[in-house]
Copies of this chain bind each other. A is one copy, B any other.
């Protein structure tokens, strides 16, 4: 199963970085790797407590911090707040987020180099990095809106 594999990869990354494998981290990583939508820390906490009602919110925050420093998760930015997180796959990619249900997919290949060059010329800045996110409606929410 692909999710199991991704979760194992994350746990291995944590281990390589000096962390121990604990049941709390197992649960948190499992939830994050299989999530189809961006989650707030509190959402993730609620999901994890279904598997272990004893698990603490603080551990969720601490694990998120570690996963972020390993580059395995990313923050999702929205006009109404930027506290959600989503897994990051390998390589350079961007997110497309359904504004209705929150479902999130990623894509690659934005071909923005020409834009960077033009803006650099116009402004005198050097362009080192960029952030791009798309918002829209997923197929299911489009169908629901139709009828």
A residues whose Cβ falls under 8 Å from a Cβ of B: 75, 77, 79, 82, 96, 98-99, 105, 107, 109-112, 115-116, 118-120, 122-139, 142
A96 touches B125 (CB 8 A): yes
**Alpha-carbon distance between A109 and B120 when the two chains are bound, in angstroms:** 13
Q: Are B111 and A125 in contact (CB under 8 A)?
A: no
B136 touches A127 (CB 8 A): yes
Residues of chain B with a CB closer than 8 A to A116's CB: 134
Contact of A135 among B131, B135, B137 (CB under 8 A): B131
Q: How far is the CA of A130 from the CA of B133 in the complex (A)?
A: 6
Cα of A40 to Cα of B126 in the assembled complex, Å: 24
A139 to chain B, nearest CB (A): 4
Pairwise interchain contact B135-A120, C-beta atoms closer than 8 A: no
Q: Known interface pairs A110-B115, A115-B110. Does A128 touch B136 (Cβ–Cβ under 8 Å)?
A: yes
On chain B, the residues within 8 Å of A112 by CB distance are 110
Contact check, A126 vs B120: say whether CB atoms are below 8 A apart: no
Q: Out of B105, B123, B125, B137, which one reaches A126, CB within 8 Å?
A: B137
A136 to B130, CA, bound (A): 9
Known: A75-B79, A115-B111. A105 touches B133 (CB 8 A): no
Which of B75, B119, B126, B134 is within 8 Å of A130, CB to CB?
B134
A133→B94 CA distance, assembly (Å): 12
Note all chain B residues with C-beta closer than 8 A to A136.
120, 125-129
